Copies of this chain bind each other. A is one copy, B any other.
Amino acid sequence: VGKPVFNSDRYYDQPPTGVAMGLAWTQLGGATLYIESVASSSGKKSGGLITTGKMGEVMKESTDLALTFSKNYLKKVQPESEFFDSSSIHMHIPEGATPKDGPSAGITMVTSLLSLALNKKVRNDLAMTGEITLTGKVLPIGGVREKTVAASRSGIKLIILPESNRKDWEELPAHVRKGIKVQFADYYDDVFEIAFKNSADQAGTESP
């Protein structure tokens, strides 16, 4: 499937807090990519977001969307947290020379932000892809085949796909799905359950 546009295939054995792995689809094929978030300062001012990593317009809008959703989601899962009130966030996608765009990193960005806010690591054998809406609905993405190939190549064991991409997964040839488990997400709740559970007790749909 051509030369991957990203070199970054899985350079963390266990991603640190604030880092989640996504799946991208480029002209050169699929690729795994990390989304990294750190608190860039804490003080009186809240809510600021800096982004780097050569993101296009749509992807920058995704970061705003992810931040709003994450703030509201954190209020649900950890109501006492003041993390987003007291922190400014810097979100980066490594390989700063490679242009990136599109909305399909939505759930990965949210997972990166919540990992940071909750101070919980994301399970290390997981990659995910899906557009998110303000209400947490997970919307379909393109390139299921190429993204699955990229996940395999990076040694990923479990991927999260949008529920509405289920048919695309089921139509993949067995050799492409080999060794990869999948979980389908309809709302972000589904992603959250998977990403922050221990990998030991987490089972996906086994591929044939």
Assess whether A139 is in contact with B94, with CB atoms less than 8 Å apart: yes
* Docked pose: A65 CA to B43 CA in angstroms: 19
User: What per-residue 1/0 map shows which CB atoms of A132-147 lie under 8 Å from chain B?
Assistant: 0111010110000000
Q: How many copies does the complex hold?
A: 3
The one of B65, B102, B135 in contact with A16, judged by C-beta atoms closer than 8 angstroms, is B135
Assess whether A68 is in contact with B90, with CB atoms less than 8 Å apart: yes
Assess whether B62 is in contact with A96, with CB atoms less than 8 Å apart: yes
Main SS of the interface on chain A? mixed
| A47-B41 CB under 8 A given contacts A36-B133, A102-B97 | yes
**Which residue from chain B places its CB closest to the CB of A186 in the assembled complex?**
B11
Assess whether A50 is in contact with B68, with CB atoms less than 8 Å apart: yes
A11: which B residues are within 8 A, CB to CB? 137, 139, 164
- Besides the known contacts A39-B72, A92-B134, 14 further A-B residue pairs in the complex with CB atoms under 8 A apart: A7-B140, A11-B137, A19-B135, A36-B135, A38-B69, A38-B134, A40-B68, A41-B47, A41-B84, A52-B62, A62-B96, A64-B90, A65-B90, A95-B103
